[in-house]
């Protein structure tokens, strides 16, 4: 091919390219979006951040006790139920109310009454209700039980002992002589049956163990934590069962030989023989000295020695005990009147 022919071919190719470029159409609308691809694999967790600083402690809530009304302190001594001697100090200086002078309507009698608690509270306290005259206080011998919200002298103490045990007792005082009515004489009971009878502090009569009674039976506590159940006396008074301290139940030929009778008091019989006896219990004693009472400020102070019997006092130790102490309290000079309960 000569040189002229080569130029013609190149020119024709160039014109073809330009023509094809000018003939290209416009771009169409975008097509629909494709489906999302599957999620990738989660990456590894990052390391934990450092702990934040502790917040500040909240403020204590309000106390239910009054801490500025003085207290009762001293020593209580006696023997535990097992005969072990004890002498323990106490300091009861918390109050739910200050207490004060109370007039008993229809009697002409005025009382001074107050209660002080120790930590943690209810199982450590002492209540005193004393007859108040212008320049003196004394034990209350009149029967005002219908007017009193609680016994006129009530002492409660507890202490934790080694071996994960607790020594605790609560007892009333009675400043009048009474007769105790034993369902079984103390000598025979101690030797054979080991009932731990609870007595009403004012009537001297035995009370069944209220917490363990049923609708048809009385329960009587036995040393060691078991209970003996008997039908009501008017229903024959037959022995039913022993409920042991661990909750199991069993029978007993020993307690089955007893039959419970009741009239105005509870007694046990064996083969028709009355095993009961009576015991004279002299009044408890309260000696007061160094007494002073400022009716303007309500400051009441005195020293005291309280001696309480071992039986007929709801006394869990079953032994007499003595409380020697000092009262230094602030009370109201006029606490209102004590209406009949």
Q: Are residues 200 and 215 in the same domain?
A: yes
pLDDT at 16: 44
**End position of a domain, from candidates 280, 296, 319:** 280
Q: Are residues 313 and 270 in the same domain?
A: no
Helix residue spans in the chain (DSSP H): 3-22, 186-188, 253-256
Q: Is residue 261 part of a domain?
A: yes
For the chain, residues with pLDDT lower than 50 are: 3-9, 11-12, 14-25, 58-62, 338-341
pLDDT at 151: 57
CB 168 within 8 A of CB 316: yes
pLDDT at 22: 47
For 2, residues 6+ apart whose C-beta sits below 8 A from its C-beta are none
Total domain count, the chain: 2
Q: Are residues 171 and 290 in the same domain?
A: yes
CA distances from 253 to 129, 228, 240, 282 (A): 47, 12, 11, 37
Q: Are residues 171 and 239 in the same domain?
A: no
Rounded to 10 degrees, what is the CA torsion of 93, 96, 102, 104?
-120
- Kindly state the DSSP code that residue 11 receives in the 8-state scheme: H
List residues bridging with 268 in a β-sheet. Answer: 260
Q: Pick from 316, 317, 307, 314: which is nearest to 282 by CA?
A: 307
Domain assignment of residue 158, given as a range: 70-175+282-330
Q: What are phi and psi of 185, to 5 degrees?
A: -55, 145
Q: Are residues 161 and 106 in the same domain?
A: yes
Q: Is residue 339 part of a domain?
A: no
**What is the value of pTM for the model shown?**
0.71
Q: Which two tokens stand for residue 303?
A: 């020293």
In angstroms, rounded to a whole number, what is the distance separating the alpha carbons of residues 159 and 81? 14
């Amino acid at each position: 091919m000569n040189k002229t022919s080569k130029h013609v071919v190149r020119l024709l190719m160039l014109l073809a390219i330009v023509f094809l470029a000018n003939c290209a159409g416009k771009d169409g609308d975008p097509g629909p979006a494709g489906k999302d691809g599957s999620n990738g694999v989660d990456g590894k967790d990052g390391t934990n951040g450092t702990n934040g600083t502790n917040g500040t402690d909240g403020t204590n809530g309000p106390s239910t006790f009054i801490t500025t009304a003085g207290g009762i302190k001293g020593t209580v001594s006696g023997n535990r139920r097992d005969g072990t001697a004890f002498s323990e100090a106490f300091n009861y200086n918390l109050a739910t109310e200050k207490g004060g002078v109370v007039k008993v309507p229809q009697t002409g009698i005025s009382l001074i009454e107050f209660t002080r608690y120790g930590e943690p509270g209810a199982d450590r306290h002492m209540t005193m209700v004393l007859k108040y005259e212008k320049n003196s206080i004394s034990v209350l011998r009149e029967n005002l039980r219908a007017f009193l919200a609680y016994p006129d002298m009530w002492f409660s103490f507890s202490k934790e002992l080694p071996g994960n045990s607790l020594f605790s007792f609560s007892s009333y005082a009675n400043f009048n002589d009474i007769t105790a009515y034993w369902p079984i004489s103390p000598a025979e009971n101690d030797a054979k049956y080991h009932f731990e009878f609870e007595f009403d502090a004012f009537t001297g009569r035995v009370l069944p163990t209220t917490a363990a009674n049923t609708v048809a039976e009385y329960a009587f506590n036995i040393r060691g934590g078991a209970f003996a159940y008997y039908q009501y006396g008017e229903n024959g008074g037959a022995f039913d069962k022993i409920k042991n301290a661990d909750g199991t139940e069993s029978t007993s030929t020993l307690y089955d030989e007893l039959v419970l009778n009741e009239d105005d008091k509870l007694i046990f019989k064996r083969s028709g023989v009355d095993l009961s006896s009576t015991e004279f219990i002299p009044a408890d004693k309260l000696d007061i000295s160094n007494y002073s009472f400022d009716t303007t400020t309500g400051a009441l102070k005195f020293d005291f020695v309280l001696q309480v019997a071992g039986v007929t006092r709801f006394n869990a130790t079953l032994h007499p005990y003595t409380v020697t102490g000092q009262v230094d309290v602030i009370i109201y000079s006029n606490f209102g009147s004590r209406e009949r309960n």
